[in-house]
Amino acid sequence: MACGSTTSGFGSSAASPSASLTPTIAPQSVPDATLLTASNCSGPAPKSSPRPLGRYFTIRPAAEWTETPSPQHTETLLLELEAPSTYEFAPTFMQFHSLIGPVHTVYGQEATAHSIAQQHAAAIAQEWSRNAVAGKISDCRVGGDAAAAFGVSGDLTLASGTTNGRFFWIYVVHNDFLFKVILVGTGGIGNQAIQDSLGMIGSLTWTF
């Protein structure tokens, strides 16, 4: 998903939401980024082997999260994983992106993860979908570097059509490169997906 694209292109499945778990994020609400940042965007790392993502970093995928075929319009996408279909608000996805251009060239010499997140949150209706709404920015660290997160409510385009999605966006700058992590659920985001994502983010190790 390129910055500014209005086509999400998440995955290819169209599973129905399950009601077996208590939702952490209810439908019709903008996700609160402190659900990630309160634990410094980190949790117990999965026991899986490290998965290299380009030359940039490795992560440890959570158990039973499966890699999806690369969707269209994703020149920045390094990896997309889909949560188990038993999770609430299925389908739920997690994406890892490497964004184009040196940070100092694209955003300015003084740019930080926080200022970049603020810029994209302010323009979310133009960059994502006209009905998109972003929540407050909250800071944490990813791979030892400063990061910033915010929640979003807006359109989610699946193979089955467009529905309402709930998103977390996390921006992190490392060695003048910008990276983005997205967690998205169909109509909400369940607690288990949040906990799994925190473990995967916490496992991130830079390789450049």
The per-residue pLDDT of the chain, averaged, comes to: 88
Is pLDDT above 50 for 18?
no
Is pLDDT above 70 for 25?
no
Give the integer Cα–Cα distance in Å for 191 and 196: 9
Beta-carbon neighbour count of residue 128 at 10 Å? 25
Give the integer Cα–Cα distance in Å for 158 and 38: 30
What is the per-residue pLDDT across 127-170, written as a single tens digit (0 to 9) for each?
999 999 999 999 999 999 999 999 999 999 888 889 999 999 99
Lowest mean pLDDT among 45-59, 72-86, 93-107: 72-86
In the chain the domains, ranked by start, together with CATH numbers, are 25-206 (3.40.1000.10)
Cis peptide before 91 (omega within 30 of 0): yes
What sign does the CA torsion over 9, 12, 17, 18 have? negative
Whether the full predicted model's pTM is greater than 0.85, yes or no, is yes
Beta-carbon neighbour count of residue 42 at 10 Å? 19
pLDDT classification of 11: cutoffs 50, 70, 90:
low
Beta bridge pairs of residue 22: none
